[in-house]
Amino acid sequence: MSERFSVIVIGGGHAGVEAAWAAANVLRQPGSVALVTLDPDKIGVMSCNPAIGGLAKGQLVREIDALNGLMGLATDATGIQFRVLNTSKGAAVRGPRAQCDKHAYAREVQRLVRERPEIVVVPGSTERLLIDDNTIVGVGVAAPGQPGRERVLLADAVVLTTGTFMRGLMHTGDQQTPGGRFGEAPAVGIAAELRRLGFELGRLKTGTPPRLDRASLDWDSLPEQLGDAAPEPFSDLSGLSGDAIASGLAYASVFPALPQVSCRETTTTTGIHDLIRANLDRAPMYSGQISSAGPRYCPSIEDKVVRFADRAAHGVYLEPESLDPDTHGAHWIYCNGISTSLPADVQQRIVRGMPGCERARILRFGYAVEYDMVRPHQIAATCQTKRFAGLFLAGQINCTSGYEEAAGQGLVAGLNAARHALGLDLITIGRDEAYIGVLLDDLATKTPVEPYRMFTSRAEHRLLLRADNAADRLGPRAAEWGLMGGLNPKGDVPDERTALRARVYERRREQLAAMERAIAAARVSDGDQKVLLAEVLRRPETTTEQMLGFLAGFAAIGTLARGVAFTAHTNAFYARYIDRARAEVRRLREVEHRPIPAMLPDELLAHLRSEARAALRKFTPATLGQAGRLEGFSPADVGLLRVLIEKHGRAKR
């Protein structure tokens, strides 16, 4: 017997839950989305760092929220320390970050998923992908504890989000344990199935640090790292102000929802570095036990000591993982900065060599995880595979690293899987629209040699892609693409949260427009003369609070949310640069979105350099803009390809 769904999502991690949530937002029909996961109790688990956001990653989370995703909601409900990073720099590179109670976060994600009648959670391991005429039609799921018994699920689209579980292998010293996360078995069958279907797979590595018992640390002796005095939420639905309620938005919540905590700082020492060097032959990355690449920008402590041999110390942040003790009464502390796969005895000496940790008790030793991924040149920027229609990949299976990168891909994959199921065109998010668009375009046009991590430096339009204006950029697109519902003629599930979000978007739009009109009209005293407020706001010393003081007499504005005021001030401060950036986007758009025909004749392509032809064959870019970012493609190649496409078009006419 088989069961029928519109969309099947495989994997309950950050990519999987966001994919299922997005598909549910589009389809709005009970039982239309299956979420297949090895263990339903592990949905939304924070496998490594108990934090969301950061530099560039915070922008991703804000974009996910603007597109009606769930990561921002779950973070705001479970954050125990909120900080905006890079506040000494410009607004374009600031990144909101939240330390979360990791157990509360998983519970909140599971609660949100349970709320959706569209989503059916299916326990089991996916062992088969069912293909018919180069189109996926379903999956075969092995029921847990019932070897040999298969549950067949049929669907119009499938999203595969295996995370670190695909042939996952954990390393601590020379000890190797199959698994994608501590205490959890790997997914083995799906890797063999993907190879059978012709996908090119690769092998990557990630790692995690030891966890300590807070009671064993000299906590109060260490420097304190505090959160922001006035925390900022990730979601536009969190902590709505009295102004919002007065405007008819029947929603208000306490933010932050949980008590706020501080973290502590410590460091490694030269003695620890000498110890690590003396034991490199026991480190899997250096002994030859692991040959796959790890994340360069989140290196293990072994890598740091080798690569930065001149450094006498490396900073380590001791971060509480939860407000509640575990069953044994221990409060777990995450050692951010010493990810390692060294043997347990060496890890013990490393930890106890750090100030404040001389008597530390390790609750769990660090380990590395090797896992299979699908080389991402085999997907389009829509997350759909180029080999099979209706099959979408998202998360670490696409050679990425991080909760936020996975969630952003999951949202796009779930959105497009639902659109595919409805017979609608798939959407591609532009590099000038969102960091999510930058991420997916990079994956579709590059061959990563290490897990991909998002940075502000990857976004050439970052002044337009700030964390504060995510709702302004993407709120209208969420409605247009169907993430606010309304595309499925059979959809009949009302969603009060989405209806509220639509009202919040509209209220924010009105507030921002009123504020910017007031700024454009206002003149303020500047010494002995009156000058335009817009001119004053371009001065670095002018603050948002001062701007609001200048505008206090404008009754039409009313009480404004802090976030709207910050956006208005930032837009005014960077006005000339924003205008220039938008003009550049318009100039590039014609080339960026010019489609490349799927079947250009070989005799035409023969005019291109062999390196450019090879890049076209490998990546099959959808547009000239993508072609211009391919490895081996030069600006001259783009110009020639454009001429060849025009010639091909004239010949067809």
**Torsion sign, CA atoms 354, 300, 211, 70:** positive
The residues near 487 (Cβ < 8 Å, ≥ 6 apart) are 26, 419, 422, 424
Higher pLDDT, 66 or 177: 66
Query: Looking at residues 136-164, what average pLDDT do you find?
Result: 90
Q: What is the mean pLDDT of the chain?
A: 90
- The 10s digit of each residue's pLDDT in 35-48 is 999 999 999 999 88
Quickly state the pLDDT bin for 499 (edges 50, 70, 90). confident
How large a percentage of the chain has pLDDT more than 70? 95
**Torsion sign, CA atoms 535, 538, 541, 546:** positive
pLDDT of 50: 93
Quickly state the pLDDT bin for 602 (edges 50, 70, 90). confident
Please say if the pLDDT value at position 480 is more than 70.
yes
Please say if the pLDDT value at position 295 is more than 80.
no
Tokens of 109: 């994600």
pLDDT of 146: 74
- The 10s digit of each residue's pLDDT in 546-597 is 998 888 755 444 445 778 999 999 999 999 999 999 998 888 887 788 888 8
Q: Which of 343-352, 388-397, 485-494, 551-560 bottoms out in mean pLDDT, i.e. has the lowest?
A: 551-560
Beta bridge mates, 648: none
- Our measurement of the distance from residue 73's CA atom to the centroid of its chain's CA atoms, rounded to an integer in Å, reads 14
How large a percentage of the chain has pLDDT more than 90? 64
What's the rounded Cα separation, in Å, for the pair 155 and 4?
6
Please say if the pLDDT value at position 630 is more than 80.
yes
pLDDT of 641: 87
Please say if the pLDDT value at position 322 is more than 60.
yes
pLDDT of 91: 92
Please say if the pLDDT value at position 422 is more than 70.
yes
CB 368 within 8 A of CB 206: yes
pLDDT of 343: 95
CB 598 within 8 A of CB 622: no
Please say if the pLDDT value at position 599 is more than 90.
no
pLDDT of 378: 94
pLDDT of 555: 47
Residues in the chain: 653
The residues near 142 (Cβ < 8 Å, ≥ 6 apart) are 124, 125, 126, 127, 149, 150, 151, 189
Query: Looking at residues 407-422, what average pLDDT do you find?
Result: 98
Please say if the pLDDT value at position 164 is more than 60.
yes
Residue located via tokens 């032809």 = 613
- Our measurement of the distance from residue 571's CA atom to the centroid of its chain's CA atoms, rounded to an integer in Å, reads 25
pLDDT of 358: 97
pLDDT of 169: 87
pLDDT of 244: 52
The residues near 173 (Cβ < 8 Å, ≥ 6 apart) are 282, 283, 284, 341, 342, 343, 344, 346
pTM: 0.92
Query: Looking at residues 337-366, what average pLDDT do you find?
Result: 96
Please say if the pLDDT value at position 62 is more than 90.
yes
Half-sphere exposure of 217 (CA within 13 A, CB side): 30
Residue type, 167: R
Please say if the pLDDT value at position 5 is more than 60.
yes
- The 10s digit of each residue's pLDDT in 228-271 is 999 999 999 887 655 554 455 544 567 899 999 999 999 999 99
